Structure 1
Amino acid sequence: MDKTLPSLAAAVAGIDDGMTVMIGGFGGSGAPIELIHALIDRFRETGHPKDLVVVNNNAGNGHVGLAALIEVGMVAKLICSFPRSADPVVFTERYLAGKIELELVPQGTLAERIRAGGAGIPAFYTPTSFGTDLAKGKPVEVFEGRSYVQERWLKADVALVKAHHGDRLGNLTYRMAARNFNPLMCMAAATTIVQVSQIVAPGAIDPESVITPGIFVQGVVEVPHPQQEEDLNRAKAVYPEPTA
């Protein structure tokens, strides 16, 4: 039952080519920067994984985190709500060059598709996107005189998540707004890997405070001082760092 992992490298070792990977966070809040960078390190060493399908709220900013994952060429398709955010230069350049595919999903629909994936609900109906290009080719039904678009669940092979505290059994708490998409993604992925600021003993977290039960988590790695995307971008950081 002990789900602790010895290193970030070990945490991402099971991610293979072509997998669908959910990455938690709302912008930089709750984004697992260290896990993403460890995945980039593995790609630079082995050439794998590649051709990933990534699910995230946005398309990354600057040259760190998700943006860095895209910049090194690991992502074949991005499913997100906000491809245009604060500094999406990496995604924009690759998209305009035809090097990455985009599936645009309204934010509420994205959250519900992920929740449905975790809850075992294959499809649901929403009025959002009706009459727009995003609804083309999707079934439409009328309920109480209003048109609704059918949306399918969204599941993943792996979720990379950032939490605040976690115990050795995988029970998690989150810090304020860092909660965002992370709990939903834990439920919707076949394998969930979590970086936490502190791993504590089973029982140290009040059961009433547990947001994600350990049943949804397969691995936990401790990152005592996680980096924040906004701080890295203010410092004009680039990952991996350019060699001289």
Structure 2
Amino acid sequence: MDKVIGADEALAGITDGATLAVGGFGLCGIPSTLIATLHGLGVGGLQVVSNNCGVDDWGLGILLSDKRIARVTGSYVGENKEFARQYLSGELEVELCPQGTLAERLRAGGCGIPAFFTPAGVGSQIADGGLPWRYAADGSVAVASPAKEVRDFGGVPHVLENAIVTDFALVSAAKGDRYGNLVFEKTAQNFNPLCAMAGRVTIAEVQELVEPGELDPAGIHLPGVFVQHVVHAPDVEKRIEKITVTEVER
């Protein structure tokens, strides 16, 4: 089945209040073409699951700055000052999650596993509850995280974490074929396959589009069974979140 369509058509089903899993790690491997198109469609109240929320003027930060995002589940605030401002002022609900736990919650959702136990977070507010999810305008906690079940396995306490399944997933791949089989480039493989698995409808932007059979089956990182739509995006602008250079002695 040929899954290649235009970005507008692929995103047309996303409505106000939809849940989205968005791939990428920092600004590496983010589906910037799909995010820009979604911004143009004007939808809001989005509930986003992503490792982080981009920066102030790029990635998910574009949606955030226009108040299109109502809730974020992630593991890293990053360099996004507007993210911090909205969270602390009570404009944005935020569920912070250990990075490995977030990755496994997405993978579990894609595999049909409803929940799992992990030692990460035991003895902290992750397990005990009380993490501020949303602040009130006066700085008090309006919504706090609930306590989670803790159970011993082999004498070691583990906390129960629920899997994540979202209405849609937006991911970016270096290469893909018309059937939705995807190959990711290095660090861009972080979170993109997991988000793709967690989405009920997954939309992948691919930089290089090839014909079915051209990809080495052993080199495919994500099979097309997880992808519903493919958008060809050959000219993607790539940015660096924080440029660090070494001074050269003269």
TM-score by length of 2: 0.87
From 68, 71, 79, the equivalent of 1:77 is 71
From 51, 55, 61, the equivalent of 1:61 is 55
Deviations, residues 150-192 of structure 1 (Å, cap 9, x unaligned): 0010111100000011111111111111111111111111000
**Kept after mapping to 2: 8 A contact 1:33/1:229:** no
Following superposition, the deviation at residue 11 of structure 1 comes to: 2.2
Partner of 2:134: none
**After TM superposition, where is structure 1 displaced by more than 2 Å over at least 4 residues in a row?**
none
**Kept after mapping to 2: 8 A contact 1:199/1:222:** yes
**Kept after mapping to 2: 8 A contact 1:63/1:90:** no
From 77, 82, 88, the equivalent of 1:90 is 82
Return the structure number with greater helix share.
Answer: 1
Partner of 1:145: 155
Partner of 2:11: 12
Partner of 1:171: 181
Deviations, residues 16-42 of structure 1 (Å, cap 9, x unaligned): 111110110000111111110110011
Following superposition, the deviation at residue 120 of structure 1 comes to: 0.8
Q: CA RMSD in A?
A: 1.3
**Kept after mapping to 1: 8 A contact 2:56/2:65:** no
**Kept after mapping to 2: 8 A contact 1:65/1:229:** no
Partner of 2:96: 104
**Kept after mapping to 2: 8 A contact 1:32/1:160:** yes
Aligned partner letter, 1:146: V
Aligned partner letter, 1:92: A
Deviations, residues 177-233 of structure 1 (Å, cap 9, x unaligned): 1111111111111000011012111111111111111111001111112112327x8
**Tell me, what secondary structure is at the counterpart of 2:105?**
helix
TM-score by length of 1: 0.89
Partner of 2:137: none
Structure 2: unaligned runs, 5 residues or longer: 130-146, 244-250
Deviations, residues 25-64 of structure 1 (Å, cap 9, x unaligned): 0001111111101100111xxxxx2111101101221311
Aligned partner letter, 1:134: I
Structure 1: unaligned runs, 5 residues or longer: 44-48, 235-244
**Tell me, what secondary structure is at the counterpart of 1:229?**
coil
**Tell me, what secondary structure is at the counterpart of 1:11?**
helix
Question: What is the identity percentage for the equivalent residue pairs of Structure 1 and Structure 2?
Answer: 44
Aligned partner letter, 1:53: Q
- Within 5 Å, give how 1:1-244 maps onto structure 2: 1-5=1-5, 7-43=6-42, 49-83=43-77, 85=78, 87-135=79-127, 136=129, 137-230=147-240
CA distance in 1, matches of 2:84, 2:62: 13
CA distance in 1, matches of 2:165, 2:52: 17
